[in-house]
Amino acid sequence: MDDSTKAATVRRLQSVEGHVRGIQRMVEEDKYCIDVIKQVEAVQAALSKINQLILENHLRTCVTTAIRGDDPAAREAVIGEILDVFAVGNK
């Protein structure tokens, strides 16, 4: 992972961590259910953005290297990994 993507990812993860702690407090304080659900949805959206950043970096680095390389097994491996990620995400 390149340094700028790593830094952005860590910042976003720290933000999500704080947000999740806030949701935990909301539950402990018996806040209104719909408000809790909205906050959980916000965290899910933030995690999706993190996945997008990581996937973009992966495609631009690891996948590009494998596709341009001379090893057909490496090419197939990265393609299989991406397909697996989307298969899991769509279950």
Q: What is the CATH number assigned to the segment(s) 3-89?
A: 1.20.58.1000
The residue written with tokens 């830094």 in the block is: 7
- pTM (two decimals): 0.83
Predicted local confidence at residue 89, as pLDDT: 66
Angle at 51 between CA 42 and CA 39, to 5 degrees: 10
pLDDT tens, 49-77? 999 999 999 999 999 999 999 999 999 99
CA distance 61 to 64: 5
CA distances from 83 to 58, 74, 88 (A): 13, 14, 9
Percent of the chain with pLDDT over 90: 88
